[in-house]
Amino acid sequence: MRRIAPDRDQLLAIVAEVFREHGYEGASLALIGEATGLGKGSLYHFFPGGKEEMARAVVAHIDGWFEENVFAPLRDSADPLAGIEQMLEATDSYFRSGRRVCLIGAFALDESRDLFAGQIRDYFGRWVTHLADALARSGHRPDEANELAEEAVAAIQGALTLARAANDLDVFSRALRRLRVRLGLPVKT
Residues in the site for DNA, rule: CB under 7 A? 2-3, 5, 27-31, 38-42, 44-46, 48, 50-52
Distance set, CA 45 to CA 8, 88, 139, 142 (Å): 13, 37, 51, 48
Task: Choose the binding region for a copy of itself from 2-10, 48-56, 89-97, 111-119 (rule: CB under 8 A).
Answer: 111-119
Dist CA 65 CA 175 (whole Å): 22
**Residue 184 interacting with a copy of itself (CB under 8 A):** no
Q: Where are the beta strands (DSSP E) in the chain?
A: none
Q: Which of 13, 17, 22, 82 binds a copy of itself (CB under 8 A)?
A: 22
Distance set, CA 50 to CA 5, 32, 116, 129, 140 (Å): 18, 11, 15, 33, 46
**Residue 32 interacting with a copy of itself (CB under 8 A):** no
Q: Which of 32, 59, 87, 120 binds a copy of itself (CB under 8 A)?
A: 120
Dist CA 118 CA 171 (whole Å): 30
Q: Minimum CB separation from a copy of itself for residue 166, in Å?
A: 6
**Residue 30 interacting with a copy of itself (CB under 8 A):** no
Report the sign of the C-alpha dihedral through residues 171, 160, 137, 70, in that order.
Answer: negative
Q: Which lies closer to a copy of itself via its Cβ, residue 5 or residue 181?
A: 181
Query: Choosing among DNA, a copy of itself, none, which partner's interface includes residue 40 (Cβ < 5 to 8 Å by kind)?
Result: DNA
